[in-house]
Structure 1
Amino acid sequence: MDDDAAPRRVRADAERSTARILEAAEAVLAEDETAPLERIADAAGLARATVHRRFSSRTALLDALAAQLAQRYVQGLAEARVDSAPPVAAMLRMTETAFALKIAHRFAVQLSASMTPEVLDGLDRLFARLRDAGAITAPDPTWGRRVYLALLHEVNDLPADSPMLAGGSDEVAARAALLVTTVLQALGGLRPGEQEEGL
């Protein structure tokens, strides 16, 4: 047997256990933000000692959830091609990703640590490109990003039957279109009655 095979198997088992713990933590904490690590261990189907070995404290677990979500946001920025795609199309694609993540990670999205400098920088670059393309007139990309994130929260909180989301069977797409149109209008881009292609 290869001398490296056992350590690789142990690492793979540890990675699987960590993934199960994080998945269970997301589900349990979305229902009860005060749930103890023991309840998360039960939901993951793992021994409590395993959870405590992977995460020495509740804070360490929350940090891991935030880091995982931040990585998914970074991946979303890359997939949206915020540095190369037409900026409005990139914004729409990133927004669809953000809403999909908010649905799948209802607890973790509340953790401000998921908005890492890398994520914020990617959004700032996107808003600079929107300004340079004339899609918005607001001169400060940071202000654009702050407006976007504030409205992202508000649109996310709309009930599914809100008249603001009417006109589409795809809830993620409807929320993304509403947010992008609203942000562009708020930042001096689209005017009421105008329609950007694809929205």
Structure 2
Amino acid sequence: MGESAARPLRADAERSVRAILEAAERVLSEDPHASMEQIASAAGVARTTIHRRFAHRQALIEALALSAARQLAQVVADGRPGTAPPLVALHRITANVLEVKTSWAFALSLPADPGSEAAALHEDIGQRCLTVLERARTDKLIDEAADLLWVRRVYYALLGESLHANADDTGLDPDALATRIIDTLLHGAGPRT
């Protein structure tokens, strides 16, 4: 009986934290210097609730960065970089990443502290990207002599520029944009032969 009584409280606590993190993303995107009180108000929670969950503003920002990194890592893993056909994996991962990066732009712009869980997640994401690029090279989608670290940098740049160019476009179609990014990555801007 005591165990079942704890579950709703836990779910309420999780919803509260999620509401705070979502509000923090919105508020801090508009004003990076916004106060904890402004974030609490936007989350629809009492100021004491936000302070109970996060001892100080930096703790909230670290939790925000970690939550976004976890979401990003999950959508990359969902693209099955090591098992799906490379072109399929690239497309899924790219579309998924575009969605997460659009929703969590502020949080994902925060530098991860070295040695933190967020930094480890970003490192894992980078490794998964190299995995799918290596598999694409094996399938002859990428030249065998290509420097995959450079290809990954170009891919990241294409993602970043696509998000920047479409920042004000609320009708962003992640699948269409993913197709464009991958086409540019694999074929460049030269004529098709």
Q: Which amino acid in structure 2 is aligned with residue 147 of structure 1?
A: V
Map residues 34-113 of structure 1 onto 2, 5 A cutoff: 34-113=33-112
Give the whole-Å Cα distance in 2 for the aligned partners of 1:97 and 1:147: 18
Q: Counterpart of 1:4 in 2: which secondary structure?
A: helix
Task: Determine the C-alpha separation between the residues in 1 that align with 2:74 and 2:177.
Answer: 20
2:180 to 178, 181, 190: 178
Cα deviation, 1:132-151, whole Å, max 9, x if unaligned, reads 21111254433222221122
Please tell me whether the aligned partners of residues 19 and 43 of structure 2 are also in contact (alpha carbons under 8 angstroms): yes
Structure 2: tracts of 5 or more residues without a match:
113-117
Given that 2:73 and 2:122 are in contact with CA atoms closer than 8 Å, whether structure 1 keeps it comes out as: no
Tell me, yes or no, if the aligned pair for 1:125 and 1:141 is still in contact at 8 Å: no
Larger mean CA deviation between 86-95 and 62-71 belongs to 62-71
Q: Does 1:144 align with 2:144?
A: no
Say whether residues 1:124 and 2:126 are aligned partners.
Answer: no
**TM-score where L is the length of structure 2:** 0.83
User: Superposition RMSD on alpha carbons, in Å?
Assistant: 2.5
1:27 is matched with: 26
Describe how 1:160-171 pairs up with structure 2 within 5 A: 171=173
Residue 115 (structure 2) aligns with:
none
Deviation string 1:141-176 (CA, Å, 9 cap, x unpaired) is 3322222112211121124899xxxxxx86322321
Tell me the TM-score normalized by structure 1. 0.81
How far apart are residue 14 of structure 1 and its match?
1.6
**Superposed counterparts of 1:182-197, under 5 Å:** 182-186=184-188, 192-193=191-192
What runs of 5+ residues in structure 1 fail to find an aligned partner? Answer: 163-168, 195-199
Q: Report sequence identity in percent.
A: 41
